[in-house]
């Protein structure tokens, strides 16, 4: 379970050159900080989360282990997850 404090304690987003070819990352945006816990629960239904990179803003990058998990998360694109 994730809590809103997670965003407040997040480190800045940085990627390495090796991440450019990695297709297991999904960009998540347009949420309120108080909805992080609900949002993360929904994303965990798509698969195992390998890594999260976020800022105190309303976007983050979530890395899954497999392409199938990414596709499940991408199926949520445009849908209202919180609220």
> Do the bridges between strand 25-29 and strand 49-54 make them parallel or antiparallel, or are there none, so unpaired?
unpaired
Alpha-carbon gap, residue 66 to 56, rounded angstroms: 27
This prediction has a pTM of: 0.72
Which token pair is 66? 């497999």
Q: How confident is the model at residue 74 (pLDDT cuts 50, 70, 90)?
A: very high
In terms of pLDDT, which residue wins out, 40 or 1? 40
Residue 36, burial from CB neighbour count under 10 angstroms (0-12, 13-18, 19+): buried
Count CB neighbours of 39 within 10 A.
19
pLDDT tens column, 16-73: 555 556 788 999 988 888 888 888 999 999 999 999 888 767 888 999 999 999 999 9
């Amino acid at each position: 379970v994730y809590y809103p404090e997670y965003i407040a304690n997040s480190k800045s987003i940085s990627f390495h050159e090796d991440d450019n070819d990695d297709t297991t990352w999904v960009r998540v945006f347009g949420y309120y900080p108080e909805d992080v816990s609900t949002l993360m629960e929904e994303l965990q239904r798509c698969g195992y989360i390998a890594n999260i990179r976020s800022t105190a803003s309303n976007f983050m990058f979530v890395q899954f282990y497999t392409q199938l998990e990414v596709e499940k998360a991408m199926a949520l694109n445009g849908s209202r997850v919180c609220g």
